[in-house]
Amino acid sequence: MTGAAVATGAPSAPVEGASGTQALDRAAAIVTHVVEADHAVGFTEVVETSGLARSTVSRMLAALERSGLLERLDTGEWRGGPLFVLYAARHDRTAQVARLARPVLERVGEDTGETVHLAVAHGDRVAHIDQVDSTFLLGARDWSDVDVPAHTSALGKVLLAWKVLPVPDGALASLTDQTITRRADLEDDLEQVRTRGFAVTHDELEIGLSGLAAPVFGPGGDVVAAVGVSGPTARLEARAEEVGQLLVAHTRKLSRQLTPGHHTKEPR
């Protein structure tokens, strides 16, 4: 007996006592449908497109979730699981980090009310790849297309601290009278970043602007991105420890999504 169709067309109707090959074909068809969909897929949609009994679909989805091939969202819908993320993180890391990080950015934004950023290293600079705007009337600007020296921003300090970006040769640019310009002072600051697990800047990029950021770890324990919050110093300076710890908690969860089955490296 041949197996059921897997990728296109309607799968065959359920057959009692299906062989292992048939079960694999049907599971593959479900995975293919969910991964190729341009939206999160609901349970009813899986049942209708697979042609399988609801109980069979339920068992298959549970097995696919346990294996990391699919992931169930809080809404009850399904999308590609952490194994796809892990594979893509090795080949198209930025896109996958951005996809997984978006809910995290939104939660941090809800918790803080401030502008939230996601950044990665691009060459020798910090590249902002996503942002959630502040809920306050006065918030931080959109930094997506702005190139700033890494040592002047909290996001940049995270990437410097974990050696994703190199400390630049020569003199360090000074943007305000609070910018760190001595190499020894910067190394001390980066050691503090690694020790407490998050970076802080107050008035170092712009007077009146503060930022905090924490690292996102990927496969192998390397830092692949940073999630940060920025806003007026008057609002953030007194909340630095609280917001910093909040970022660490969220980025650790994100790191675990990127490294299923691996231990997330803790800040030393």
pLDDT at 116: 95
pLDDT at 62: 93
3-state secondary structure the chain: CCCCCCCCCCCCCCCCCCCHHHHHHHHHHHHHHHHHCCCCECHHHHHHHHCCCHHHHHHHHHHHHHCCCEEECCCCCEEECHHHHHHHHHHCHHHHHHHHHHHHHHHHHHHHCCEEEEEEEECCEEEEEEEECCCCCCCCCCCCCCCCCHHHCHHHHHHHHCCCCCCCCCCCCCCCCCCCCCHHHHHHHHHHHHHHCCEEEECCCCCCEEEEEEEEECHHHCEEEEEEEEEEHHHHHHHHHHHHHHHHHHHHHHHHHHCCCCCCCCCC
Is residue 31's pLDDT more than 90? yes
Lowest mean pLDDT among 10-14, 46-50, 250-254, 259-263: 10-14
Which pLDDT band holds residue 100 (cuts at 50, 70, 90)?
confident
pTM for this entry: 0.64
Is residue 266's pLDDT more than 60? no
pLDDT at 22: 87
Domain at 86-258: CATH code: 3.30.450.40
Higher pLDDT, 262 or 86: 86
Which pLDDT band holds residue 91 (cuts at 50, 70, 90)?
low
Every domain of the chain and the residues it spans: 20-80, 86-258
What share of the chain in percent tops pLDDT 90? 59
Which pLDDT band holds residue 263 (cuts at 50, 70, 90)?
very low
Is residue 92's pLDDT more than 80? no
pLDDT at 183: 94
User: What is the mean pLDDT of the segment spanning 12-34?
Assistant: 75
Which pLDDT band holds residue 12 (cuts at 50, 70, 90)?
very low
Is residue 33's pLDDT more than 50? yes
Domain 20-80 has CATH 3.40.190.10: no
User: What is the mean pLDDT of the segment spanning 20-32?
Assistant: 89
pLDDT at 43: 95
pLDDT at 200: 98
Q: Note the pLDDT tens digit of each residue in 111-147.
A: 999 999 999 998 788 988 899 998 865 545 555 556 7
Is residue 193's pLDDT more than 70? yes
Mean residue pLDDT across the chain: 84
